[in-house]
Structure formats: structure tokens, C-alpha cells
A = this chain, B = another copy of it.
Amino acid sequence: MREQVEREAAQAAAAVGQLHDEGVTRALERAAELVGERAGTIAEANAADIEAATLDEGALDRLRLDNSRIAALREQLVQLAALPPLERDEDSWTLENGLRVSVRRIPIGAVGANFEARPNVAVDVAGQLLKSLNGAVLRTGGAALRTVTVLVDEVLRPALAAAGLPPEAVGLVRFPDREGARMLVSLPHVLPLVILRGSGETTAALAREAAGHGVRTLAHAEGGGVLYLGAAADPAKAETLVEASLDRLGVCNRLNLLLVDAAARVDVAPVLERLGIGVREPERIGHEWANDPEHIASVTVRTVASLDEAVALANRETSGLAAAIVTEDAGAAERFLESYRGTAAFWNATTRFTDGFALTGSPETGINVDRVPGPRGPVTYRDLYLRQFRVIGDGSQHR
């Protein structure tokens, strides 16, 4: 198994040098056509996956590629093809000695992507990696492997070939068991970076495993939005934003922890009741209800004595994904925005906007919540590059 993964990764890495923007645009456009032309084969494989699956209802729904999802897949590819390529020159200047210096964005190489049994993610994430001129090695939950194999072998690879690009730029872990995910994060020389979609303990364990191998991951094992109703919160806005933060319950950027300032003239009980959301006491304050299917319609609520206490709680006890303040006091808002250290900070807006596409117009490759320089928060294809200094002289310059 290791040999297969290593081979697909090495081939994808070797193919990267032949990718170029014009070719990738053509490949993405061709992939969109192929999704239509091979719709029957895709549907067949998907039916077999569903037939064999032993999943709960939600997971089964995400596994299903019905006609509307296949249409959405085509549309995504068309839109991705139309987005501007990554600008490769970040900055440039000339030194006094005449050296011309530029900061360039070069491809990473092959990048791994691990995702649960949602076959549309295969096309989505591979498309974004290609868009940034990187190779991709995909690994999906075993339940979706038939569908994803068809999407790789009958859509993505033929589309690359049709565009004159090496088809092996997209690789696949072709084994259904979890060991495949561990392989994916253990090959630093060919896969220095792996995107981990999804959350929960499985993702956390994979991220740890990757780190032990010197492989960097972009991941958010834990998510959950914080909403702080400040002392000067407008009650109507507070209610609107609680509701806007709970429009979907299975997503990482939904309201998870509701902090109510003791001085706020807001009663959250009526709106939560109207929405059918229970106030529940978690094992620990960062517990993410979105990952707790039995109690998904819950929020954690805390009364806090001050803005400082709210920020301290958000910084110390939560995932660091996103937090929002509701207040009419601009000074308080500024203090909140300046002191919250998560990946996205909101004022009178819902954390549900913590989303690459919603914020930037580029589809989201993944979300990363680590606390080091580099792509953080929603990550898009525009983040998937290495920095390289380029220096041009006339041979005369010396230290």
C-alpha cells in the first residue's frame, strides 16, 4: 500500500513542473464537460458505493451524488476555470548595487488532501490544487472510493490529458481503509503539505501523525463560532445575529458558544426557543456541538462580567476559528477586534461568514486554525504557493 501511495505522490510531484495556467484552465473546462459526458458512469459507481455503505443518514446524504450535485460539480469547475490565475510576482525592487530582487510565488509541488466520504470534494479540492499549479494526491473515506476513482480516472485525468498536461498530476490513494490516510501524511519528501478536511478526533490524530513525520497540515480539528453580546448590544441585532449564526447546525462556523455580557439588555431565551435550539452544558467549554450529532441543536451559553472576560474565554477555551461581538459601542468593538486572536473576528456580523468563498470569492480549499505564519483561517488556491526570492545581477555585485 505504501508503495502505491508513494508512487502516486512521486508521479504527481514530478508532473507539477509541466503544469501551466493556460493548460489548467483548459483542463478544468474539459473536466466540466466530462462530468456531463460520464454522468452515467459516475452515477453507477455512486449507486454501488451507496449500496455498500453502512453510514448514518447524514453521511449517506453527503455520499450521494444526485443529478443536482453533478450539475453543481460542473458549475464549480466552470467557475474555477474562469477565476484569475495566481499572480506569481508578489513584489519587486532594485538594490543600490543594481541587483533586481523579486518575491515570487512558486508551486508547492504535490499536495495531499484527505476528506470524508463526500465525492464532490474530490473534484473541488483537486481542481483548486491544479488551479494553483500544484499536483494533488486525494484520499477519501472508503465509502466513496468507487465514485472518487471514477472522478479521478474518467474525469480529472482525461481532462488533464486532453489539455496536454500529465494526467498523473492528480493521484489517488486507492485503498479503502484508514491506513491510507496515515500513509498520506507520512511522505514529507513528496507530500510536504496535506490538507485535512473535516474535523473531530480523527482529524486531530492525523494532524499529530503528520507533524511527527515533518509533514505540515492545514486543518481545523475543532471549530465553532463564538458570539459575544456586549454591554451595548442592540437587542434586535443580537436576535438577528443569533438566528443568522444558527441557519445551519452541522458546519464549523455556526454559533457554538454564546457569551452574554451581564450588562447586556438582551434575553436570548426566546430566540433560541423559537429556533428549537437547546442550551446545554458541555463537558468543556470548547465542545463543538456541530460534531455531536445527538445534541447538534444545542449551544453553550455563558454570562460574562466584561468584554475582557469574553475575549479571554474565546482565546483560551475555544478552537480559535472565529468570534463575533454585537455592540453599538465602537470603542468596545475595536478592543474586541484587537484582542481576539482567532482566524476571523467579526463586529455586528455572524461567524457563519468564516468561509473562503463568502469572504474572497474563491472557493475554499480548507480551513486552518494553527497559530503560525502562513495561510490561516479560510484557505483558497491563492494561498497555495511557496515564497521564492529571485535575484538578477550583471555578475559584478558582491558582498
Contact = CB atoms under 8 A, between A and B. Distances in A.
A389 B345 contact: yes
Interface range, A side:
35 or more
Contacts of A344: 388-391
A289 to B, nearest CB: 18
A395 interface: yes
A358 B398 CA distance: 11
Contacts of A248: 399
A354 interface: yes
A326 B395 contact: yes
A397 B353 contact: yes
Contact of A392 (B348, B350, B355, B376): B348
Contacts of A216: 216, 370, 372
Contacts of A342: 388
A247 interface: yes
B377 A374 contact: no
A345 to B, nearest CB: 5
B374 A384 contact: no
A372 B212 CA distance: 16
Chain copies in the assembled complex: 2
A151 interface: no
B373 A108 contact: yes
Contact of A349 (B213, B387, B393): B393
Interface string A93-114: 0010001010000101100000
A153 to B, nearest CB: 28
A369 B240 CA distance: 48
A74 interface: no
Contacts of A375: 373-374, 387
Contacts of A392: 333, 346-349
Contacts of A232: none
A99 B383 CA distance: 22
Interface string A363-388: 00000001111111110000111111
Interface of A: 17, 95, 99, 101, 106, 108-109, 192-193, 207-208, 211-214, 216, 234, 236-237, 240-241, 243-244, 247-248, 326, 333, 337, 339, 341-350, 352-355, 358-360, 370-378, 383-399
